[in-house]
Amino acid sequence: MKEKILKILSETENKLSSVKTLSEVEDVKAKTIGRKGSITALSRDMGKLSKEERPEAGKALNMAKTRITELINGTKLKLEETNTCSTSDIDVTLPGRMWPTGKKHPITQTIDDCVEIFRRIGFVVAEGPDIETVYHCFDALNTPEHHPSRDESDTFYFKDGRLLRTQTSTVQIRVMEKEDPPIRIIAPGPCFRPDTPDASHSANFHQIEGLYIDKDVSLADLKSTLLYFAKELLGEDVKIRFRPHFFPFTEPSIEYDFSCTACKGKGCGLCKYSGWLEISGAGMVDPNVLKSVGYDPETWTGFAWGMGIERIAMIRHSINDIRYFYDNDLRFLNQF
């Protein structure tokens, strides 16, 4: 083994004497004392030697490692001194190097655009935890104990009783618990439901929740807010309609649609020939929700809405499968 060590040391000295770049020095280092280097390989063979041979072989290996390290450091120092440029060699008038930047994911782009639109009319962003309590996700939102949304088939539960939030409506409860009205917030963020993935469903998705609490707030205020949002996002020609619905946390409750951006309301495959694109739900905040956070429903009224970010992005970009957003296919993502 001692002969092998001396041979490696001699070859290393010869190689380092002829190198011209720092990358060549690193290459010599990797081939000798690196993880797969020749000296490292000999260290692994120590177990094959007899007890008498090991002390001398170990001493020789340590000396070789020290010597090679010294040679490498010395060679690096010489190259760095040789290759150091004087200030006169630098052209300060040359433009800097432009490094390529990444792109925002289409979901992030849509969230940013929605937030910017609502900020222009006084809404501020609020956030809440992804892992929630049953109280904030259901009880405070006036959801009955027998409601199917509480079932394990519709909600991810942890063993300690907490859950992954199924909607961003939980944020409005947390904000109202801490702040006095008037309140005007939007809450974008991820939500989770145990849905079977298909073209229009995913177990993880994003919503943007809106809440406005003040005196004398009406359903007309809600419609004007959503109409303003629709026109800013999809253009001046878009229209909006309300349809009666039921949600435990709003009364009255509505679902709302935007007129189809592809056919301008005439009917096409995208809107299933109805002329309308279903967006999400909304309504006036139920008095029981206001009472749960300590607000007097005789003094304060308000409206809330929630819409799916993926749904908005699909309509906006004419995408027919929600799974494209999560496949990490650069051919798809580079289009945005």
What is the CA angle 172-176-182, rounded to 5?
Answer: 105
pLDDT confidence of residue 200 = 80
Residue 85 has pLDDT above 70, yes or no: no
pLDDT confidence of residue 88 = 57
Q: Which of 52-56, 278-282, 315-319 has the lowest mean pLDDT?
A: 52-56
- Are residues 285 and 295 in contact, defined by beta-carbon separation less than 8 angstroms? no
CATH number for the domain formed by residue range(s) 106-333: 3.30.930.10
What number of other Cβ atoms are within 10 A of residue 228's Cβ? 15
Sign, CA dihedral 175-181-187-191, equals positive
pLDDT confidence of residue 291 = 95
For helices 106-119 and 219-234, the axis angle rounded to 10 degrees is 130
User: What is the tens place of the pLDDT at every residue in 215-264?
Assistant: 999 999 999 999 999 999 988 888 899 999 999 999 999 999 888 877 87
CA 278, chain centre distance (Å): 26
Q: Which of 201-205, 268-272, 298-302 has the lowest mean pLDDT?
A: 268-272
Q: Read off the pLDDT band of 87 (50, 70, 90).
A: low
What number of other Cβ atoms are within 10 A of residue 50's Cβ? 7
Q: Which of 87-96, 273-282, 283-292 has the lowest mean pLDDT?
A: 87-96
Q: What is the DSSP letter of 62?
A: H
Sign, CA dihedral 284-308-238-236, equals positive
- Are residues 230 and 258 in contact, defined by beta-carbon separation less than 8 angstroms? yes
How far is the C-alpha of 173 from the C-alpha of 178, rounded, in Å? 9
pLDDT confidence of residue 5 = 81
pLDDT confidence of residue 84 = 56
Q: Which residue has the higher pLDDT, 48 or 281?
A: 281
